[in-house]
Structure 1
Amino acid sequence: MSGTIEKTTTAELAPGVHIPLLGLGTWPLTAEDAAAAVSQAITIGYRHIDTAENYRNESAVGQGILRSGIEREELFLTSKFNTQWHSRKGVREAFAKASKRLGTDYLDLFLVHWPNPAQGRFVQACEGLQQLVDDGSIRAWGVSNFKPAHLRLVKEAGLDVPVNQVQVDPEHGQPEQLAFHREHGIRTAAYSPLGRNGGFLGHPAVTGPARELGKTPAQIVLRWHVQHGHVATPKSANYERQRENLDVFSFVLTQGQLDAIDALETGAPPRLDSDTYFH
């Protein structure tokens, strides 16, 4: 691959709404650590920042954005809200609070963080999000940690889910979940894209291509996500790691290399079960 390659590429979530495939995750950074990491990342070239009500860092993320000096319109800002707001009216209140903390008058993407099926109001939350899109408060909406059973209920209510943010890494590939996404046109966003302990980063399926291409194992795994069409938001406050994590568009993995990383799938479920865990 030759020529100038942009640092970020995007995927279309809705007409005219393009999300950068590589973003900065901000959990569990808080206070000045979060503000500094966000400002630094934007200076490096990140244009997608991912936060959430439950991360307790939205105000710090907003400070980091302001400190960066980049115009708001140049950024793609994602946040998520908790289950206490699961109603049409509640979602509007959640947006008002989130936008105030972040210091913005709109969000590019707003997500239901957990379905909490026992409460039984996540469909109403999705309906509330669609209303926010319709009135221009947010540019796109989506969900997080929704299983196919949850997504089907949203579909039955007449709503098409643009994106679902779930735990995905080479050892937690969730093939059935992602097959459902593909079947229904749902974009997969991967949180913890480099895993929780990074054990697979030392596997020959990852270290081999890293040596061949002169890249880090983390860059190889993030490139694997990108070539599968996932939106990935790795967290780092370290300058060099932030820079490396963003630099995954200057090389390509072969189909054989992709297949070898795919084969690291263990069949393990996500770390948290969204039928019972929520906040």
Structure 2
Amino acid sequence: MKFSPGIQNFWLQISNFLFESLVVFLVLLWLSGWRFSNLLNFPILVGFIVGFSLVFFRLIWFLSHLKSQLLQALPDEWKFEVAVLADYPLLNLSWLREQTSILESLGFVQLMDYKVEPDTGFARCFAHLQHYCLAEICQIFGENGETIVQSISIFSILEQDWVVGAINREVNQNDGIAYIWRHPKKVGTYYPNISLDEFLQAHLRFRQQMLDDLGITVSTDVSWFAFRNLEQQATIYRKQTMRRKPLFLSILEATLFELNPKSEWLGDYPKEAVKRRANHR
């Protein structure tokens, strides 16, 4: 998988700092007559400390500044705004209508059309009043107007703050950053190349397995307010996680994800399931 632009730029900057450090070392080694022992001479040693200190502090400033920019880009709360189809000339209307029709045939009812922040996408939310789950049709556009995400998600709110979700597309490079703020109780699975009927059934089967393993039940509140509350909690958690985690560790996690994309995130679910089985023996 090709690295996303943000990840590529980060490691390019880190490479520049490493190159600067190597240049400083080679210059000092040249001044010492290419003898490592001469690096301990006082003038050379002072130059060594000053040179590497400058590179180090520039690196620290870069990481601090980048983290500040990322935090500023993340909203403090989920701001809902109704979406109007006329405002999205690039929206794939035929696809939207087709997916809406299929979801409604499966028992979903339409709740709301809303903007995906920061005004780069369109989403339509649905609720299933018999299966007690929510669905979302989403199309997000890049800076040049190209579609970067076009998918459908189905998710259920469970007891004890658990949420299980599914998305009907392949993992892509844009999921690496989202992996940084993964939640231990928010379980997610990708189901590419599957019909919406099969997609719904796969979600319900996996949800039932979680309910049985954890000894919990599904929330029957599938109102728009429940959906908004879920989005609000997720928005707050994303910013808290970005603020708490060291930036270098966060980018490293995203990079490793893009090198080896994961088609599911189970969080603490396996551990909690094993613990519950052990307690019931």
TM-score bin (small chain):
under 0.3
> Which one has more relative contact order, counting CA pairs under 8 Å at least 6 apart?
1
